[in-house]
Amino acid sequence: MTAPSRPEGPAPAGPGRPGYLIRAARAEDLDAIAGFEVEIARVSFGDEAITDAGLHRRRVAGALGQPGEITLVAVAETAPGRPVGWAWLSGRTNSLTGAHYGNFRSLAVADVPDRSEIGELLLSAVLQAAGEGGMRQLTGKVHARNLGMRALYRKFGFEATHITMEKRAPGAGGENQPA
């Protein structure tokens, strides 16, 4: 699925700055996307993060262009070949009800001045593409300490519905660290 280059929603970049476009992710974006995936892993899993960019690259490559996969990048109008943000939503089917829904896999934006606006553009484009794909419910996990992503989800109407509780088994390492 692809999204329009100018999704409805928050306006592109501020005054005097280049605008941003949202487009389908392509194979030539994989190195940048793998970098975003490594950063997501670090934010989500700390010292236990899987930081092998090659592994992330291969995992994402399998989703590009596949039915039910929404894979988008944000690029500056002045540099359309260099992603500054990335979003991934996978279509799923509830095995009990047959309902079609979307599972957020990733959303990340480079540390650039328009970071918040780019995140909003990406999320807006994902929501539009998900709606066009018949997804009436979207779910996503976010690390409890990722306040920026939690705020973005809330801004777009997402609500917390489940809490994952975790405890490390004795001897599993990190048992004295908060989860």
CA distances from 70 to 40, 46, 48, 59, 131 (A): 18, 27, 27, 14, 11
What rounded mean pLDDT belongs to the chain?
85
Distance, CA of 108 to chain centre: 5
Provide the pLDDT for residue 21: 93
Q: How confident is the model at residue 38 (pLDDT cuts 50, 70, 90)?
A: very high
Q: Report the sign of the C-alpha dihedral through residues 148, 153, 155, 156, in that order.
A: positive
Q: Which of 46, 47, 132, 32 is nearest to 87 (CA)?
A: 32
Say how far apart CA 59 and CA 61 lie, in whole Å.
Answer: 6
Q: What are the structural domains of the chain?
A: 20-155 (3.40.630.30)
Q: How confident is the model at residue 30 (pLDDT cuts 50, 70, 90)?
A: very high
Mean pLDDT of the region 53-79: 94
Q: How confident is the model at residue 144 (pLDDT cuts 50, 70, 90)?
A: confident
Mean pLDDT of the region 124-150: 90
Can you give the pTM of this predicted structure?
0.80
Q: How confident is the model at residue 48 (pLDDT cuts 50, 70, 90)?
A: confident
**Hey, which bits of 18-68 come out as E strands?**
20-24
Residue tagged 């999704």 (tokens): 7
- pLDDT exceeds cutoff 70 at 52: yes
Provide the pLDDT for residue 122: 95
